[in-house]
Amino acid sequence: MSFDYRTGAPPADAYLALFETTGWNASYGASAEELERANRQSWHAVSAWDGERLCGFGRVVSDGVLHAMIYDMIVDPRYQRCGVGSRILSMLLTRCREEGIRDVQLFCARGKKGFYLRHGFVERATDAPGMQLSLSPE
């Protein structure tokens, strides 16, 4: 299979359809417009296309100097294990390296830890800094 990889935020409707494949929106309740705004405000984004179908996406939020955080690594389940996620992650990390970013972090979805370990990420120690606060929409 041949895919087209593009930088920048994808169209809102295509991204919402991809985002919905994760099940994350059950708790976020985000609209297509909110997701598009989040993507537009990212430091770098990469999408994968099979013709007109958005089949993968990932983005980086960064200060552009020291720290970067990878968010929303998503591959449509129909395209998993085709190299799409690996290519997107590689493109995101290449951009971070080119800009001299010193620290790249991510939150990985449940059950996906092995994918990131295979790409050089390491788990943080259980007593290392790093916490999460989920702010539920009211």
Rounded CA separation 42/117 (Å)? 24
Domain span including residue 87: 4-118
Q: Judge whether 134 lies within some domain.
A: no
Answer whether residue 136 is part of any domain. no
Q: Is residue 61 part of a domain?
A: yes
How confident is the model at residue 65, as a pLDDT? Answer: 94
Predicted confidence (pLDDT) at residue 138 exceeds the cutoff of 60 = no
CATH number at residue 112: 3.40.630.30
Q: Is residue 130 part of a domain?
A: no
Active-site residues, by number, are 116
pLDDT digits (tens, 9 = 90+) for 39-58: 999 999 999 999 999 999 99
Averaged confidence pLDDT in the chain? 92
In a domain, 131, yes or no: no
Instruction: Report if residue 52 sits inside a domain.
Output: yes
Q: How many structural domains are present in the chain?
A: 1
Q: Where are the beta strands (DSSP E) in 63-119?
A: 67-75, 103-106
User: In this predicted model, what pLDDT tens digit does every residue of 86-130 receive, in sequence order?
Assistant: 999 999 999 999 999 999 999 888 889 999 999 999 888 888 777
> Using CA atoms, how far apart are residues 89 and 54, in angstroms rounded to an integer?
16
Please check whether residue 24 is in contact with residue 5, taking contact to mean a CB–CB distance below 8 angstroms: no
pTM: 0.90
